[in-house]
Structure 1
Amino acid sequence: MSIEEKQKEIVEEFAFLDDWEQKYEYIIDLGKELKGMPDEKKTDNNLIKGCQSKVWIDARFEDGKLYFNADSDGILPKGIVSLLVSIYSGHGTQEILDSDFKFIEEIGLQEFLSPSRANGLMAMTKQIKFYAVAFQLKN
Structure 2
Amino acid sequence: MEAPFVTPSEATAEEAIEAIRDELDVFDDWMERYQYIIEMGRKLPPFPPQWCNDAHRVPGCQSQVWLEEKEEGDRLYFAGLSDAAIVSGLVALLLRVYSGRTRAEIEATDPSFLRELGLVQALSTNRGNGVEAMARAIRSAAMAA
RMSD of Structure 2 on Structure 1 (CA): 0.9
Decide whether the 8 Å contact of 1:59 with 1:69 is kept in 2: yes
Structure 2 residue 61 is matched with structure 1 residue 56: no
The equivalent residue for 1:130 is: 140
Q: Where in structure 2 are there 5+ consecutive unaligned residues?
A: 1-10
Match of 2:119 among 95, 101, 109: 109
Q: 1:93 aligns with which of 79, 95, 103?
A: 103
**Corresponding residue for residue 39 of structure 1:** 49
1:86 shift after superposition? 1.2
Letter in 2 for 1:48: V
Contact 1:11 1:106 in 2 (8 A): no
Corresponding residue for residue 10 of structure 1: 20
Q: Deviations over 1:13-51 (max 9, x none)?
A: 111111001100000000100123111111212101111
1:21 partnered with 2:21: no
Name the structure 1 match of 2:75.
Answer: 65
2:33 alignment partner AA: K
Say if 1:3 and 1:99, in contact at 8 Å, map to a contact too.
yes
Other-structure match for 1:119: 129
Partners of 1:67 and 1:36 in 2: CA distance: 15
How far apart, CA to CA, are the structure 2 residues paired with 1:80 and 1:118? 10
What is the aligned length? 135
1:30-85 residue CA offsets vs partner (Å, 9 max, x unmatched): 01001231111112121011111110011000011000000111101100001101
| One-letter amino acid of the counterpart of residue 100, structure 1 | D
- Counterpart Cα distance in 1 of 2:42 and 2:129: 22
Q: Which letter maps to 1:54?
A: Q
CA distance in 2, matches of 1:117, 1:105: 13
Structure 1 unaligned regions, length at least 5: none
The residue matched to 2:50 in structure 1 has which SS?
Answer: helix
Separation of aligned partners in 2, 1:50 and 1:102: 17
Q: Sequence identity of aligned pairs in percent?
A: 38
* Greater share of helix: 1
